[in-house]
């Protein structure tokens, strides 16, 4: 399963850390079973707020301002803009990498 995620992540970064991918998959758990919940919608403000509050603040413990965290989310949205269906695993991986926190998942 993580091979599919790794292939998607490698579109955006040279190295895909398998342990970090597996950790993110474990963190997301049952949410990945639902097709809708397994994707991130960059056009949905409530979805982006959920990413900021639940993932960046709660899981990664980020303390930057909401504007700074929203800017990081926007960077990942821009990076993944060619994909209509943005994988939540890839999205979270790129955010964790952006903050040098992939180790949180290994």
CATH of the domain at 35: 1.10.238.120
Longest dimension (CA), the chain: 35
Please say whether the beta carbons of 81 and 25 come within 8 A.
Answer: no
Interval 75-93 mean pLDDT? 96
pLDDT of residue 35: 87
Structurally, the chain folds into a number of domains equal to: 1
User: In which domain, by residue range, is 17 found?
Assistant: 2-105
pLDDT of residue 50: 95
Please say whether the beta carbons of 96 and 74 come within 8 A.
Answer: no
Mean pLDDT of the chain: 94
pLDDT of residue 3: 59
pLDDT of residue 1: 47
Q: pLDDT tens digits for 8-23?
A: 999 999 889 999 999 9
Please say whether the beta carbons of 82 and 1 come within 8 A.
Answer: no
The rounded distance, in Å, linking the Cα atoms of 55 and 106 is 16
């Amino acid at each position: 399963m993580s091979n599919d995620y790794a292939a998607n992540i490698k579109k955006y970064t040279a190295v895909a850390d398998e342990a970090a991918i597996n950790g993110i998959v474990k963190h997301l758990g049952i949410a990945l079973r639902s097709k809708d919940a397994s994707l991130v919608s960059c056009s949905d403000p409530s979805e982006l707020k959920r990413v900021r509050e639940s993932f960046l603040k709660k899981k990664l413990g980020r303390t930057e301002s909401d504007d700074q965290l929203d800017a990081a989310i926007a960077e990942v949205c821009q990076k993944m803009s060619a994909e209509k269906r943005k994988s939540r695993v890839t999205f979270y991986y790129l955010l964790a990498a952006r903050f040098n926190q992939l180790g949180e998942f290994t």
